[in-house]
Amino acid sequence: PKEALLMNPVINFFDKSSDAISWQWDFGDSTYSTSQNPIHTYADTGCYQVKLYIENQYGCRDTIPETVCIKDISSIYIPNAFSPNGDTHNEYFTVAQYNYCEFEMYIFDRWGNLIFNTTNLQGWDGTANNSTEIVQEDVYVWLVNAVDCYGNHWRRIGHVTVVR
């Protein structure tokens, strides 16, 4: 399905059929359009079943369905603890649960020193300053700057506890 964020819930729809002479778009939210290539703004989050009804000059009709999902960025789950202890469970701290085109993560210790940064969506593996050693059990501050593939900018700050 196509995805967009609630902060920019605009979807450009394109008719890819050939020889159609009439179009009826049902956007799945009780709104409609007869434009060939409409632009629609959704008012709320959710997944919508969009249907395009087309007809050609001979009266032949077709229906093309597609699902569009509008997500609220604040609803993305961000864990507050992880355990980089080699047991293959919760080995990385990540907030990248969405399709980002640009991503930066910074991790700070309790004194505000930058100990880790990455542009890798996989996230933080619990090491500091390019070491292979896992940091001590403690609470760390994270900062994430991201841009999704629709151009929406996202910046969040939080904390995560390392459990070993």
The CATH fold of domain 76-162? Immunoglobulin-like (2.60.40)
For CA atoms 74, 80, 85, 88, the dihedral sign is: negative
Q: Domain coordinates of the chain in residue numbers?
A: 2-71, 76-162
So what's the pLDDT on residue 67?
A: 93
* 54: number of Cβ within 10 Å: 20
Domains 2-71 and 76-162 share a fold: yes
Q: What is the CATH number of domain 2-71?
A: 2.60.40.10
Interior CA angle at 140 toward 137 and 144, to 5°? Answer: 140
So what's the pLDDT on residue 155?
A: 86
Q: pTM for the complete prediction? A: 0.59
Res. 1: pLDDT tops 80: no
pLDDT in tens, 98-121: 667 888 999 999 999 999 999 988
Question: Which among 109, 77, 76, 98 has a CA at the least distance from the CA of 146?
Answer: 98
Task: With H, G, I as helix, E, B as strand and everything else as coil, classify residue 74.
Answer: helix
